[in-house]
Amino acid sequence: MGAAQGGGPPGGGPHADNVRRLRALSDLITPYAVRVAATLRLADLIEAGARRPDELGARCGADPAALERLLRHLAAKGVFAQPEPGEFALTELSRLLLTGREDDGLRPWLDMDGGLGRSDMALSGMLQVVRTGRPAYEDMFGRTFWADLEADPERGRAFDALMSAQVSLVADEVTTAYDWSDVRNVVDVGGGAGTLLAALLAKHPGLRGTLVDLPSVVETGRRELAAAGLADRCAFAPGSFFSPLPADGDVLVLSRVLHDWDDDSARAILRRCAEAARAAGPAARVLVIEQLVADQGNSPMTTAMDLRMLSVIGGQERSLDEYRLLAADAGLSLRDTIATESGRSILEFTG
């Protein structure tokens, strides 16, 4: 590999700007280096006073020479600072990797020992994913993403916590964007630790709720809702959304559930929701909360999430028409679409 080009193609000529841009877009070194720093908690260690590679290596179980090379690159990129030879310090970027930042901390999202950070490794199998249309996670780790979380309870809890944090960012707008005035009981299907359900119950005192998710997740939700003083208005239904669902809800909510699944599985989930809605009465409806893709002009965040879903779990982001067709197969009709400020849409279906 040529030193002048850093092992890559030349950057000169009439297309130099585009060459540099494409090289930056295709770089893998820095994204992996940042994830290694997050996993080793280097920002925490530097904040605690360890600044030299030998000190850091002793505390995080890493080779000091290799660690210095990692930090040297990240300092060149501005993630860390190098005030003296062989000594490293935090920057505003690396402070985002400190543990415990509630609003903007990125370390748990990048930790390769955690649920999401580990799933990033499946992206290295994207060529095979595109060739076969199958997710790479199982081939890489020997079991599906969901089975992997179940096999490692600590990783599963960390993943659930990240999902709850993500839901909390949009829960407030869901509680206000949709008209809940005539809803008596809402069933949150695949509702995780109950973050969205808690926001709904807190915002609408006359509302009751039912949380549906796997048993271990529902137990977390039971504790969270009790801590919020809402357990007396909430029922808990441990189980799978591929099985019959509680049939006493005016509204069944699927928030960021369907994008986790392929079309056949999504249809099966919608059929269970349709069955429960029909049993609840003619006014019952199903709300699907998802980020929609368009034929063109999508944001890079949307298309990146779509590729992540494909590579890790075989799910996908879908268009409005695709959700309409899936719901129609389950006997549901689209009645309304509500766009929210976060970019997600609330799709209201009736039976």
Strand bridging mode 87-90 / 234-238: unpaired
Using 50, 70 and 90 to split pLDDT, how confident is the model at 295? confident
Using 50, 70 and 90 to split pLDDT, how confident is the model at 14? confident
Q: Is 341 buried (19+), middle (13-18) or exposed (0-12) by CB count in 10 A?
A: exposed
Using 50, 70 and 90 to split pLDDT, how confident is the model at 198? very high
Average confidence (pLDDT) over 99-104 = 77
Catalytic residue among 15, 73, 204, 259: 259
Neighbours of 90 (CB within 10 A): 19
Q: How far apart are CA 39 and CA 33, in angstroms?
A: 10
Average confidence (pLDDT) over 183-191 = 97
Q: Is the pLDDT of residue 201 over 70?
A: yes
Average confidence (pLDDT) over 269-285 = 97
Average confidence (pLDDT) over 217-224 = 94
Q: What is the pLDDT of residues 117-167, one digit of tens each?
A: 999 999 999 999 999 999 999 999 999 999 999 999 999 989 988 998 888
Q: How far apart are CA 197 and CA 228, in angstroms?
A: 11
Average confidence (pLDDT) over 158-185 = 91
Q: What is the pLDDT of residues 27-56, one digit of tens each?
A: 999 999 999 999 999 999 999 999 999 999
Quick check: 313 and 307 in contact, CB under 8 A? no
Q: What does the DSSP 8-state code read for residue 293?
A: P
Q: How far apart are CA 97 and CA 101, in angstroms?
A: 8
Structure tokens at 49: 């006073």
- Which helix H or strand E contains 18, and what residues bound it? helix 16-26
Q: Is the pLDDT of residue 190 over 50?
A: yes
Strand bridging mode 185-189 / 251-255: parallel
- Collect all residues with Cβ–Cβ distance below 8 Å to 165 and sequence separation of at least 6: none
Structure tokens at 26: 């295709």
Nearest one of 86, 85, 104, 105 to 43, comparing CA atoms: 105
Annotated catalytic, 259?
yes
Q: What is the pLDDT of residue 11?
A: 61
Average confidence (pLDDT) over 57-86 = 97
Q: Is the pLDDT of residue 275 over 60?
A: yes
DSSP letter string, 182-229: T-SEEEEET-TTSHHHHHHHHH-TT-EEEEEE-HHHHHHHHHHHHHTT
Q: How far apart are CA 166 and CA 29, in angstroms?
A: 27
Q: What is the pLDDT of residues 121-135, one digit of tens each?
A: 999 999 999 999 999
Strand bridging mode 333-339 / 208-213: unpaired
Distances, alpha carbon 202 to alpha carbons 52, 169, 325, in Å:
49, 15, 34
Quick check: 156 and 180 in contact, CB under 8 A? no
What global pTM score does this model have? 0.89
Q: State the average pLDDT for the chain.
A: 94
27-101 is classed CATH 1.10.10.10: yes
Tell me the CATH architecture of domain 168-293+312-350.
3-Layer(aba) Sandwich (3.40)
Boundaries of every domain in the chain:
27-101, 168-293+312-350
Average confidence (pLDDT) over 64-78 = 98
Residue whose token pair is 């994913």: 129
Return the sign of the alpha-carbon dihedral for residues 7, 9, 12, 17. Answer: negative
Strand order in the sheet with 333-339: 234-238, 208-213, 185-189, 251-255, 285-291, 344-350, 333-339
Q: Is the pLDDT of residue 283 over 60?
A: yes
Higher local confidence (pLDDT), 103 or 204 = 204
Q: What is the pLDDT of residue 103?
A: 67
Q: What is the pLDDT of residue 165?
A: 86
- Side chain identity, residue 241: F
Q: Which residues pair with 333 in a beta bridge?
A: 350
Q: Is the pLDDT of residue 2 over 80?
A: no
Nearest one of 236, 227, 178 to 203, comparing CA atoms: 178
Q: Is the pLDDT of residue 72 over 70?
A: yes
Structure tokens at 10: 């030349």
